[in-house]
Amino acid sequence: MSMIDFILGRTLSSRDERAEQIGPSAGVPIFGLDALSSAAYGPEAALTLLLPLGASGVPYILPVTGCILVLLAILYFSYRQTIAAYPNGGGSYTVARENIGEQAGLLSASALMIDYVLTAAVGISAGVGALVSAVPTLQSHTLAMCLGILFIIMMINLRGIKEAGALFMVPTYLFVGCLFAMIAIGFIKTLAAGGHPVPVEAMPTLPSATTVVSLWILLKVFSSGCTAMTGVEAVSNGVRAFREPTAPNAQRTLTIIIVILAVLLAGIAYLASVYGIGATSPTKNYESVLSMLLRAVSGKGIFYYVSIGSILVVLSLSANTAFADFPRLCRIVALDGYLPLSFSVAGRRLVYTEGIVVLTFLTAGLLILFDGVTDRLIPLYAVGAFLAFTLSQAGMVLHWKRQGSGHWRNIAINGLGSIATGTATIVILSAKFMEGAWVTVILIPIMLFVMILVKRHYAEVEKEISSQVPVDFAHLRAPLVLIPIAVWTKVSDKALRFAYTLSQEVTAIHMTAEPESEQVFEKNWQEFAMRPAEKAALPTPQLVILKSQYRHVLGPIVDYILKVERQNPDRQIAVVLPVLVEHHWYDYFLHNQRPAVLKALLMLRGSQHIVIVNVPWYLSA
């Protein structure tokens, strides 16, 4: 087994694709980690905005969560239908492109791509941040740990989706189990206490109110809570990863994810309101809402620590959803010609290697730029996801309309959904514009523009090189041959022989620095090249000697070749390069790389008439 097989796993045959496909149990950790982990910060974000209302603010979490659950239900039905309608995957991008138009599709794709990069960066740095606040001595290694986790996630994803699913199953289900247990215990205790349970441990007291409730505050609370919904589109982009029957398996996975998420959100909101637990100030004695709920329900025992541990792991693994989806989204966009085609090439483990690697680099760039602390990226987040939601809902409305009448219920659901997600997008944007969401507003159109340019470039190249005429074999003519030769050796001997099989018009170009070496070369040339050609009754090869006072060797040779080309506009010019091929990689440094540089220069400055022939001599030394 080779090293690379050991690290990345053996190469999978295309026929293995079926075996690599997954079912709902692996699908939940792979495509659901992002959505499920957001239960850990969505309610918290909403409660934080209710802080100014004091203790009387906490109960508002119930109606707000109710609205969020309604929106979640709409998104659920909408994406269920999307999966059925577009079993090849693509989610918002495909729906928007096919129903609204190219630009809407690309807008959605750009928004999602930017969002995935942010998800990966924020997820990893949130996990590491939690670890660092638990073990402060690790503080100075924050960035190194972020990059280490990023590297591990990349390697796991390069090994294939099935292994990733198997690996992430345990922490995901542990996380879900712990939170379900917390909600169940809390619910039973509340019932037993007649609706007014007493926390096991003392809770921090809420600050007194500094303002009164208003619609704007509630809208902001709602939009912050909506961050709990990012990641819901993941399954729709990855339908192709599921085993037969593809669409139903994907739908089942989506159902499981949404039901778990809804139970978590409802349960957390309910417990927070009955226990009267609000957020704490992030600057003074901060404690997360989930930590307080766990303490209130069961105290700081083993259960508490296991639950907190699983939350940390799931947060830092939430980045994996981006790794499952980003490459698949890029693949679909690339197949449509808006990104380099190489994004659609399946690698040795049947994953889209280029997408994974590009996502890793972009994420690493963000992590390095922000030194591993990505709090400032959080406002940029969610705008993309909600823009994509809105476009996807609007696309579905048009989709149903085109299916003819009789779909008014679907139209109503998706219409309502698109209005709700659209409103959320606007609220999120305006609430977070100054904090950094403006960056997204600038980046999305740039991405969009680049994708359109890529498509146009491919179309132009296609138009330029497509050929529908027979090859013209009637006017074949041997090329003019030019051979740059520095010293007379077996390598030049071989190149000259090959040149004569190409054409009988052969010219050698010799660059000289010192007069002595010039004389030696001319003598060799006459004796070993010209005289035998005469003897064989072949046209003698010509010799051109170039001199340079600037010690440049290649410039004058390229200039000479281009001059010959200009003087013979109707001829092809074959430049024959004698090349020493080294046996060991370190020999590379011992021999000049002039043939390779000359080739690159000719490719850069040459035109259609120049053909480059490498005649290699394999060193045995």
Nearest distance from C-beta of residue 570 to a copy of itself, angstroms: 14
Nearest distance from C-beta of residue 96 to a copy of itself, angstroms: 24
Nearest distance from C-beta of residue 355 to a copy of itself, angstroms: 14
Q: Which is nearer to a copy of itself, 24 or 578 (CB)?
A: 578
Element (H, E) at 521: helix 515-524
Q: Which is nearer to a copy of itself, 208 or 466 (CB)?
A: 466
Nearest distance from C-beta of residue 364 to a copy of itself, angstroms: 18
- 3-state SS, 193-249, equals CCCCCCCCCCCCCCCCCCCCCCHHHHHHHHHHHHHHHCCCCHHHHCHHHECCCHHHH
Q: Which is nearer to a copy of itself, 434 or 471 (CB)?
A: 471
For residue 48, give the nearest of 56, 39, 37, 58 by alpha carbon.
58
Nearest distance from C-beta of residue 615 to a copy of itself, angstroms: 5
The residues, ordered by sequence, that sit 6+ positions from 601 with a Cβ below 8 Å of its Cβ are 554, 558
Q: Are 300 and 316 in contact (CB under 8 A)?
A: no
Q: Which is nearer to a copy of itself, 433 or 528 (CB)?
A: 528
Nearest distance from C-beta of residue 162 to a copy of itself, angstroms: 17
Give the position of tokens 């209710």: 50
Nearest distance from C-beta of residue 588 to a copy of itself, angstroms: 10
Q: Are 343 and 354 in contact (CB under 8 A)?
A: yes
Nearest distance from C-beta of residue 120 to a copy of itself, angstroms: 21
For residue 228, give the nearest of 399, 29, 20, 69 by alpha carbon.
69
Element (H, E) at 511: strand 506-512
Name residue 511's beta-bridge partners. Answer: 546
Q: Using the CB atoms, write b or e for 95-112: b if 16+ within 10 Å.
A: bbbbbbebebbbbbbbbb
Q: Are 328 and 359 in contact (CB under 8 A)?
A: no
Q: Which is nearer to a copy of itself, 28 or 339 (CB)?
A: 339
Q: Which is nearer to a copy of itself, 195 or 470 (CB)?
A: 470
For residue 289, give the nearest of 617, 58, 447 by alpha carbon.
58
Q: Which is nearer to a copy of itself, 6 or 618 (CB)?
A: 618
Q: Are 206 and 58 in contact (CB under 8 A)?
A: yes
Query: What's the alpha-carbon Rg for the chain, to the nearest Å?
Result: 33
Nearest distance from C-beta of residue 121 to a copy of itself, angstroms: 23
Counting Cα atoms < 13 Å in the Cβ hemisphere of 274 gives 23
Nearest distance from C-beta of residue 467 to a copy of itself, angstroms: 4
The residues, ordered by sequence, that sit 6+ positions from 66 with a Cβ below 8 Å of its Cβ are none
Cα gap 502→115, rounded to integer Å: 56
Name residue 576's beta-bridge partners. Answer: 613
Element (H, E) at 331: helix 319-335
Rounded to 5 degrees, what angle do the CA atoms 417, 418, 419 make? Answer: 90
Nearest distance from C-beta of residue 361 to a copy of itself, angstroms: 13
DSSP calls for 291-302: HHHHHHHH-SSH
Nearest distance from C-beta of residue 115 to a copy of itself, angstroms: 23
Q: Which is nearer to a copy of itself, 102 or 493 (CB)?
A: 493
Q: Which is nearer to a copy of itself, 270 or 528 (CB)?
A: 528
Per this entry, what is the length of the chain? Answer: 621
The first and second tokens of residue 360, run together, are 């890793």
Q: Give how far the C-alpha of residue 83 lies from the chain's centroid of Cα atoms, to the nearest Å.
A: 22
Rounded to 5 degrees, what angle do the CA atoms 573, 574, 575 make? Answer: 110
Name residue 581's beta-bridge partners. Answer: 618
Nearest distance from C-beta of residue 423 to a copy of itself, angstroms: 39
Q: Which is nearer to a copy of itself, 244 or 464 (CB)?
A: 464
Q: Which is nearer to a copy of itself, 180 or 528 (CB)?
A: 528
Nearest distance from C-beta of residue 320 to a copy of itself, angstroms: 24
Q: Which is nearer to a copy of itself, 154 or 574 (CB)?
A: 574
For residue 172, give the nearest of 58, 59, 62, 253 by alpha carbon.
253
Q: Which is nearer to a copy of itself, 84 or 478 (CB)?
A: 478
For residue 401, give the nearest of 409, 411, 416, 391 by alpha carbon.
411
Q: Which is nearer to a copy of itself, 95 or 574 (CB)?
A: 574
